[in-house]
Structure 1
C-alpha cells in the first residue's frame, strides 16, 4: 500500500525551507503495545530533542551564510579599514635623449664614460690611511674610505708617485719633485716642490729617504723631512755658464755606480725599507743602503757577508755590484721590505734576503732565516718550458708572472704565482696563511684567454703589472682594450664604445686601502666601483629608459685607461692611468 507523506516548513523548523513531498511504501501496521512512561522523563526527552534540533538548524544557517559570502565567521575581527590612497599607475621615465654621439656612448656604457673622464679630467685619486695627511692633505679625516681626488693635482699629469702613511712624493710632468705629508712638514697642507731641474723620471722610497732616477741615469738619495733638506749638506750646482755656480737649496746625494762603461746607465730602481736595487742598461744589478735608521742586515743587498762592521771604506750607502749575477742579463728587479727578486732575459728568477715568511720561495730554515746570495728558483715547478717574464714584491710577499708553452699545441699559457706572508690575504690565492714558502698559482690571474678581433685568434690574457704595497696589492690585466678616439683611429658608430683594462685589488684592508668602502680583508682579487661616482650616478640616471634588465646585467666596475694620445688643455699628450699601492694607502694617477 502506498502512502504520501508531506514534510512542511514547520517540520524542518526553518522559515525558508521548501515544502517537500515524497511517496513512501508502507505496510499495514501491527497493533502496538504501549508501555507507561514517567512524565518527568518524557519532558527531558522532548527538551533534548528540541535542543539538538535548534543547534542543527543554527549550524545549517551559519554554513549557508558562510557559503554565500565566501568567508569565515570564526575568529573574524570587524574593524574599520583605514582609507587607502588611490593607486597611481607609474610608467618608466624615458631615457634622456643624447645630444651627440659621444653623449650617447656615455649613457649606454659606464666603461666608456670612465675612459672619457680620465682624458677630460686627469689627476690623482687617493684613499686609505690619512694619519699623515698623505691621501687627503687638506683634511683631518683619519681614513679616506673610497677614492677621492687630491685637488692640487686636478688637470696635472705626473711621471711617477709613491705613497707612505706619513708622506707622499711625486714627479710632475716637467721632472720636478713634489713632497707632502706630516713626515715632510707638519705645516704644509699641499704638495710642495723640492728638488727642481733634474729631469727625474721614476721614484722609490725607503723608510726615511727618497730614491729618484733621472733621464740621464743619475740616482738621487733625498731625505724625506723638509728640515733635513734645509739643514743638510747641499752639493754645488754645476753650469756650463762661467761663474754660474749657485748652491742647490735641497740637501741630497747622488748614487751612481762607479766605473760604468760608456753608454751604460741606470734604467730601473726599486727600494725596500732599508735597501735599494739599481738595474743598468747592460743588465747589471747594484745594491746600496737606502735608509739611514738601520743598515741592511738580512741579506737583501745580495753581497755575501756584508755587514756594517766590514763594509768597504767610504760612505755607508755607496753602490755595490752583485757579482753573483754576472753573466745573467737581468731585465727586471723588485724589492720587498727586506728581500729582493730579479729575473733575466732567459726567464730565470733569483731571490735573496729575508725568508722568515717564505718570501724567497724556499722552505723556511730556522738556522738560516736569511739568504745573502741570489739563489735560482726552480722554474720546472711552474710547468713545461716555463719562463719568468716579470717579478713583483712588496712587504713580505712576492709574485712571478710566468709563461709556459704546451709542446703539443704550442699554446702559451700565462700564470701568476705568489709566495710569502698571506695572513691578511695579500697573496691573493683565497687562503689565509702565515707563511707560503712553496709558490702557489693565483687563480684570478692564471690560465686566462680571450678572442683578439684584430688578429682573429685566441690569445692569453697576460699580467700587465702588479703594484705591491706593504700589505695589499692591485693587478692590471693586459686584456684587449679599446681606446679609439672618434675621428682618429677609425670611424665609430653611435653605439661603439671604449673600454679599459681590468684592475683588481686584494689584501689587508685595515686602513680602507682596498677602496671598496669596507674594512674587511680580501683574500681573493676583487673589483671596486668606478672612481668618479658622481659621473656614474649621472650616467645611471640618464640611462633609466634602457630597462631594468639591461642595467642589472651591466657590471659597473673600475677599469683603468691604457696609454693613448689625446688632447689635454689644447695640446696633444700621450698618457695613461697607473696604480700605486703604498704603505696603507693607494693612488691612481694620470701618467705620462
Structure 2
C-alpha cells in the first residue's frame, strides 16, 4: 500500500501545489490510507525542502571550455577575450565538439585572452578576422572540415589589413594602403586559384615579411585611387575610393541577379588560358533575372528549359567570374560624390556627401526602401530613398549612416526644425523583411517598403553637462545580421562624461538560437536592453586600456593599448570582440 501511494505522487514541481494535492488525497474516506499518506507527505516535504529547484530558464551549464559568463566585465580586467552566443552548428563560435546553441553568453576559445582584433566578420559556416598586426585568419567547418583542425589558420600575412568582409565562397580584405585582396572561403580552393602577378619593387611588406600569396587575388581598377571601405553582400562586393567613387565586383553568376551591381557589362580573364590573370579579357554581360526572364515566376508548365548552348555559355561565364580580378565603376554614380556604402544580401546602398540615401537591387520585401508604391522586385539603377515621410513638414531631414544585412536595411536619420535653438533629433529607420521582428516597430511584417521608426532608439535626448544643453543620443554602431537580428550600440559614452560604464547595447529581431544573448528563444520585435546576469545592470559595450595586446601568433603587438568592444551579428549568432586600432 505504501508503494501504491508513492506511485500516485505528482512529478517534481512547486511545493505548495504538491502539498495541497497530497493533502486532498490523504482525506479520502479510506481508513487504511491515513497513516501511510501522512508518512509519505512528511518524507517528501523533508526531501523537497532540502533540494535545489531547477528552473526552465536556468543558465546553461559549462561544457568543454564554454563556460557561461556575464555580459558586463570589470573595466580593470586586462582580458580581451570575445563573448559569443547563438548557433554553433558549424563551429564558427567555438571549436567544441558539441554543435548545440550557446544559450548563455560565453567566452570563445578561438582567441587568447590578450588577443584584440582590428576587424571580424562571421558567415554561416566560416569566420574571418584581421588580428592586431593586420594578418588575416580563417576558421570554421566551411573553411576546413576534412582535417579536423579547427584553430584559426593564417591565410594572408604582411598586408596590414584593417577591414574584412565575407560571403559564402569569398573573403575580401582591405589594407591600410587602400588595396583589396580576394581569398577563397575554403582552404581546399587555395591550390586551384592562380597566384597573382609579382608585386612591384616598392612593396615593402614582401621585403621584411614573407607573405603566402597562393590563392590570393589582388583586385584592380582602371584608376589609381585608394579604397577606403568595402561592403560585401551574398554574391557581390562594393568598394568606395578616397575620391567618393563607387566600384562593384562580381564573382559568380548570381552577382547581378537582382541588379545589385549597378551595371551589366564587364570583362573577365579568359578561363581557358594557362595563365588566367595575364590572359586576354573577354566581354560578358550579366543581365538581372527579372529582365532576362520576365516570366521567371510563371507556372512550370509554361517555362522553357535552358538549351545546351545556354548552359555552356553560363559555364564559361562562371569560369571567368571565378578568377575575376577587376572592379568596375558604377556608371550612374560617376557624377555623385559618395561618403558611405552598404550591402545587404542582394541589395546595395550609397550615402551621398549631402546626406541623401540611394538604393538598388532586390526589392521583394521592400528592403530598398522606396515605398509601397514601387511594386518592382528589381531596382537596377541607384534610386533616391525618401526618408522625410512622417517628419514635420518644416523640418530638414539628413541621412547620417546606412547599415544593411540580409533582407533588412537600417538608416540613421537626423531631422532639424527651422526654429532657432531647437534640438536636432536622431531616428533609426528600418525597412525590409520584418517577419521575425527585425523592423523594431513592435510588428512582424514580412514586407515593409517604406522605412519605419524603430522604437526605444529613435528620438532619444539627454542633458550634456559639458555643453549645458539637451542633445540627441545617436547610434554609435549598428550591425544587421543576414538572418534578421540587429545589434545597436547607443553613443551614451561620448557626451556623458566620466563615471559612465560604456555604450548601451540594444538588441531585437530573430532569436531562434538565443543570438540576442537573453538566454531565450522568442523573437523580440522592439529594441530592448540586455540585463546582465550579475545584478540586473544593463549591458554596455566598454572601452578600456590594457597592458598589452598580442597578435594571433602570440607576439606582443603593442603595450598600453586602448581597446573597445564591438558587437557583430552573424548567421543566427552574435559576437562581441575587443577592437584595437
TM-score for the superposition, normalised by structure 1: 0.70
CA distance in 2, matches of 1:447, 1:275: 34
1:138-176 deviation line (CA, Å, top 9, x unaligned): 332321112211123221010011111211111100000
1:233-291 deviation line (CA, Å, top 9, x unaligned): 2225547499989883530111132223xxx31001000000111011111111111x4
Q: Secondary structure at the match of 2:388?
A: helix
Contact 2:123 2:167 (8 Å CA) reproduced: no
Contact 2:397 2:416 (8 Å CA) reproduced: yes
Q: 1:149 aligns with which of 93, 107, 120?
A: 107
Quick check: 1:439 aligned with 2:451? Answer: yes
Match of 1:331 in 2: 339
Q: How many residues align?
A: 453
Q: 1:177 aligns with which of 136, 147, 165?
A: 136
Q: Structure 1's 196 and 137: CA in aligned 2 closer, same or farther, altered over 3 A?
A: same
CA distance in 2, matches of 1:304, 1:295: 10
Q: 1:329 deviation in Å?
A: 1.9
Match of 1:300 in 2: 260
Match of 1:506 in 2: 508
1:143-542 correspondence runs (5 A): 143-153=101-111, 154-186=113-145, 187-235=148-196, 238=199, 240=201, 248-260=212-224, 264-289=225-250, 291-292=251-252, 294-303=254-263, 309-310=284-285, 316=324, 318-363=326-371, 368-381=376-389, 383=391, 384-408=395-419, 409-470=421-482, 471-480=484-493, 497-530=499-532, 536=534
Q: Secondary structure at the match of 2:73?
A: helix
Contact 1:400 1:418 (8 Å CA) reproduced: yes
Match of 2:81 in 1: 123
Q: Secondary structure at the match of 2:181?
A: strand
Runs of 4+ in 1 over 4 A off after TM superposition: 79-82, 239-247, 304-309, 311-317, 364-367, 481-484
Match of 1:47 in 2: none
1:189-227 deviation line (CA, Å, top 9, x unaligned): 221111111110001111211011000111011101011
CA distance in 1, matches of 2:448, 2:387: 17
Gaps of at least 5 residues in structure 2 are: 1-34, 47-69, 268-282, 288-316, 550-557
Gaps of at least 5 residues in structure 1 are: 1-78, 86-109, 485-489, 491-496, 541-554
CA distance in 1, matches of 2:284, 2:155: 34
Quick check: 1:567 aligned with 2:547? Answer: yes
Q: 1:483 deviation in Å?
A: 9.7
CA distance in 2, matches of 1:246, 1:508: 44
Q: Which has the larger radius of gyration?
A: 1
Q: 1:386 deviation in Å?
A: 0.5
1:399-458 deviation line (CA, Å, top 9, x unaligned): 111111111243211111111110111111110001010111112211110111122211
Contact 2:86 2:514 (8 Å CA) reproduced: yes
Match of 1:583 in 2: 571
Q: Secondary structure at the match of 1:230?
A: coil
CA distance in 2, matches of 1:483, 1:432: 34
Query: Which range is displaced more, 334-343 or 319-328?
Result: 319-328
Contact 2:455 2:527 (8 Å CA) reproduced: no
Superposition CA RMSD, Å: 3.3
Q: Structure 1's 268 and 382: CA in aligned 2 closer, same or farther, altered over 3 A?
A: farther
TM-score for the superposition, normalised by structure 2: 0.72
Q: 1:382 deviation in Å?
A: 5.5
Query: Which range is displaced more, 174-183 or 565-574?
Result: 565-574
Q: 1:583 deviation in Å?
A: 1.6
Contact 2:348 2:359 (8 Å CA) reproduced: yes
Q: Structure 1's 367 and 425: CA in aligned 2 closer, same or farther, altered over 3 A?
A: closer
Q: Structure 1's 249 and 282: CA in aligned 2 closer, same or farther, altered over 3 A?
A: closer
Q: 1:304 deviation in Å?
A: 5.9
Q: Structure 1's 328 and 247: CA in aligned 2 closer, same or farther, altered over 3 A?
A: closer
1:317-370 deviation line (CA, Å, top 9, x unaligned): 631211212332211111110001111121111000000000111246797310
Match of 2:54 in 1: none
CA distance in 1, matches of 2:434, 2:517: 19
